[in-house]
Every structure is written in C-alpha cells, then in structure tokens.
Amino acid sequence: MNAGIIILDKPCGHTSHEITSFIKKITGSNKSGHAGTLDPDVSGVLPVALGKDTKMLRFIASKDKTYIGIIKFKKEISEGEVKKAFKHFTGEISQTPPKMSAVKRRKRTRIVFHLNFLEKNGNKVLFESKVSAGTYIRTLCVDIGKYLGMPARMEELRRISVGRIQESKSISIQDIIDAFWLYNNKKDDSLIKKYIFPVTDFLEFKKIIIKQSAVPALRSGAQLMAPGIESIPEEFKKDEMLSIYSDDKLIGIGTALYTSEELKNKKHGKVLQTERIY
C-alpha cells in the first residue's frame, strides 16, 4: 500500500505514533503518518495516511475538530454556572499548551466555535465542543475551572470529527487486520477498497484545471504560469488554497495569487504559489 487514507477509530491506551506504526506494519506500506495527534488516553477519529499521501496530511490536519468530553470539577456545580462558563469560553480564546505538549509553551489564540452543555452527574459534566486546530481541550477544562474558582480537569475525551470527516467513517485496528488477512489469504480486496480512501476524498479546496503540457514542468519545480491554465470551474479569491488538477488527476495544492475573475483575463506571468506537488 503506497497511498491511501484510513480513518481510524483510535483506542485509548496508545500514542498516535504507536497506532500509526502498527498500521504501517499491517498494510506493508513504505511509510505512514497521522493527522491531528491524540493523547494516549483520548479516543476517536485519527486520519492515517499511507505512502505518498503522508505529504498531504497537513491539508487534512488543519481542520476544525469536534469532541465529546467529560469535565470533572472539585465539587458539584449548578447547570447554570457551567453554562455561564461555557459561554465565556466560546469564541476567540487565548491558551498556553500543557507541559506535556511537544510545542513551545507560549500563549496562542484559538477559536471555540461552540461549547455545549449536554448533561450533568454530580461534579461531572458531559459536553461537546467544536474548536479550531491546535486547541487543547485539557487546557480548556483547567481554564474553565479557574474561571469558576475551583480546580477542574478533563476526565474523558473522544474526538468525533476532523473537519467533515465524521466518526461514522472510522474503523478499528481489527477491521484493518481483517481486511489484509482477507486479501493475503483469499486474494479478496473488497474490504481494503472499503476501508482505504483516496486522499482526494478529504481535500475541500476548490479546483483549478491545468493543461497536460504544464504538468511535467510543475513536477520539476516550476511554478504555474497563466498559459498553463486549462479552465477555472469555480470562483475563488486571492490567497485561497486550490487543488490543482489535470484531467481527473490531482497534481498538487497551490495558493491563488489572483482572484478567479482576474485569472480569466491574465495571459502571462505566475498565477499560483505551489504548496505541494502530489
């Protein structure tokens, strides 16, 4: 397997790296990688890329994430107080990554799109939250406790979506083991085809179509020039990320240097800043 994306339902008790390495071994891929690291004690949606698709992970990982979790307070608290705190932490927030994180510990701005109260049992509150990439839910829980004047911590957490990738698409490690057993022993690849998706299924960028004659130059490191454009099927803005296609094949990802309307009248010059050639 030298390409493909697996939407794994990561179990608790393992690091994302351990899980990704295990998937590499099962599939026999030459390399593997994951999008959006989950802590060992957090379960849920973990996109895993195989082979050449690992280079496309950052275009999948930089998505909003949705979680279901339990926050545990030092003492029992009213539903009203919890909802007030949740409202306070909805929108643009500032947080410092926890000590265990692999990134530099400095304040960062993140967005909490929603932080919904679901139910309460004593001093434990079940919630759902949609956040921008790079938001630490563990830190968010601690900060909510500080706002309410009492210790609080994340008790449990599960990621239920990465961008438009829902947990309904996710599969277990055992599913992957079964799929490759079926192929290796019965030469039946039906489950592999069911569980391993092309990377194009998860790229949400608008498309620009280039001429076949422009592909070799682009793959050799050249930038896309105006004469290389075949068609512009969708409207887009300047600085918008685009998927570059030739016929029906993905060639790469680039950033538009002009709007779609401006490009329609452009006859020469560089038109895209290449981000990644596929």
Catalytic residue list contains 39: yes
Between CA 135 and CA 277 the distance in angstroms is 29
Alpha helices in the chain (DSSP H): 16-27, 58-61, 79-88, 137-148, 173-186, 190-195, 215-219, 260-264
CA distance 116 to 73: 16
Which listed residue (39, 64, 239, 247) is catalytic? 39
Query: Hey, what are 122's tokens?
Result: 């004593």
Angle at 29 (CA atoms; ends 27, 32), nearest 5 degrees: 100
How far apart (Å, rounded) are the C-alpha atoms in residues 69 and 154?
7
> Of 34, 1, 31, 4, which is closest to residue 159 (Cα–Cα)?
34
Give, to the nearest 10 degrees, the angle between helix 137-148 and helix 79-88: 120
**Residue 128 neighbours by CB under 8 Å, 6+ apart:** 66, 67, 68, 69, 114, 115, 116, 118, 160
Reduced 3-state DSSP string for 160-212: EEECCEEHHHCECHHHHHHHHHHHHHHCCCHHHHHHEECHHHHCCCEEEEECH
Could you list the active site residues? 39
